[in-house]
Every structure is written in C-alpha cells, then in structure tokens.
Structure 1
Amino acid sequence: MANNTLNAIKRSLDDYVGEKIMLKANGGRRKTIERTGILEETYPSVFIIKLDEEQHSFKRVSYSYADILTESIELTVCKDDGEVKITYSQR
C-alpha cells in the first residue's frame, strides 16, 4: 500500500517537471525554510528542485516522496493560472 501511495505522489509530480515550485520545509527548532525553484527531475525514490540563484548555499536539493506523505515539506506549483498544492490525502 505505501509503495502505491509513493508512486501516486511521484506520478502527480511528473506532470510538473520544469514548473516553478515554492517549497516549505521544516528547518528544525520551529524554523520553516521557504525557497523557490524549478522542479528539475523526478526519480523512482527522490525528486530534485533546482533553487533560484540568490544567496543559497545549495543549488539543488532533493527530497523523497515520503517527505510529502509525512508532511515534512509542502510543495506548491506556481502556474500562470494559479497555484497547485501537492499534497497527499487519505480520502
């Protein structure tokens, strides 16, 4: 079951490769990190976000689909016609 769920999250992200993404991640100690970038690639276990070039020490970050499932990170796709939040609901 869990593997099917992770595959479903991956498939939903596949549609947005190349799109602008807003990322909210838990930075620990009640700190939330917010970054923007481009969803660069999806792989069987992880996906890669190329961060916007500002003063970030990292150019790319990778997360697993389980991070979305456990709500460790929030992804929002920024499109011309609005925003799409990538979430997993058990409904």
Structure 2
Amino acid sequence: MVDKLHLQQLKKDIEALKGEKVLIRANKGRKKMIEVEGILESTYSNIFVVKFPVDRECKQYRCVTYTYSDLITNTVEIILCRTNTKVGVM
C-alpha cells in the first residue's frame, strides 16, 4: 500500500523534472510495451504530460498524459535520459 507521503514525494520528483528529456516505457496491455523518448512538458495534481516527436524531423509533436498511479503500479516507467536513472522507485 502506498501512503500519502510517498505519493507527495513522487509528485515533487516529477515536478523537478519538468523540461527534461525522459524515456517512457509504457505497458499497453496484452504483452505490448512501448518505449519512446520525450520531454516532460507539465505536471498537474493528478497527471503529468509528456511530449513526443511524431516524425524523425521533429516537426510534429504528440502530447500524452499519464497518472501518478501509473508509476506506482509500474504500468509506466520514467527513466531520466541524462543520468539513465529510473524515477519513482521505492
């Protein structure tokens, strides 16, 4: 069981990464995983937004939202590209 203190610390950790390049590993169900690099665009009370380039020329972007509970349940993993460290691990 995750307590409120851990959730608040997780939110602070994600807030500190705004504007950083991150690698997202997301479970899309039925043994399907996606792995993409993007920029942590913004954070809110229940969600955070990651911006991904759609094409190789980076002319178009797609914004995807994830919840903090996705991190807690390991549905989504965030890895900081600069240091290659996983964020939100207990």
TM range (shorter): 0.7 to 0.9
Q: How many residues align?
A: 85
TM-score normalised by the chain length of structure 1:
0.83
Does 2:56 match 1:76?
A: no
In the alignment, the residues of structure 2 paired with residue 54 and residue 28 of structure 1 have an alpha-carbon distance, to the nearest angstrom, of: 24
Tell me which amino acid in the other structure corresponds to 1:64.
Answer: T
TM-score normalised by the chain length of structure 2:
0.84
- Other-structure match for 2:17: 16
- Other-structure match for 2:3: 2
Aligned residue for 2:84, secondary structure, equals: strand
In the alignment, the residues of structure 2 paired with residue 52 and residue 84 of structure 1 have an alpha-carbon distance, to the nearest angstrom, of: 22
In the alignment, the residues of structure 1 paired with residue 9 and residue 39 of structure 2 have an alpha-carbon distance, to the nearest angstrom, of: 20
Q: What are the equivalent positions in structure 2 for 1:1-91 lying under 5 Å apart?
A: 2-54=3-55, 59-79=62-82, 82-89=83-90
Tell me which amino acid in the other structure corresponds to 2:26.
Answer: A
Percent identity between the two aligned chains: 33
Q: Is the 8 A contact 1:38 1:52 kept in 2?
A: no
- Structure 2: runs of 5 or more not aligned: none
Q: Is the 8 A contact 1:10 1:65 kept in 2?
A: yes
In the alignment, the residues of structure 1 paired with residue 38 and residue 88 of structure 2 have an alpha-carbon distance, to the nearest angstrom, of: 18
- What is the CA distance between 1:54 and its match in structure 2? 1.9
- Structure 1: runs of 5 or more not aligned: none
Aligned residue for 1:5, secondary structure, equals: helix
State the Cα RMSD in Å.
1.7
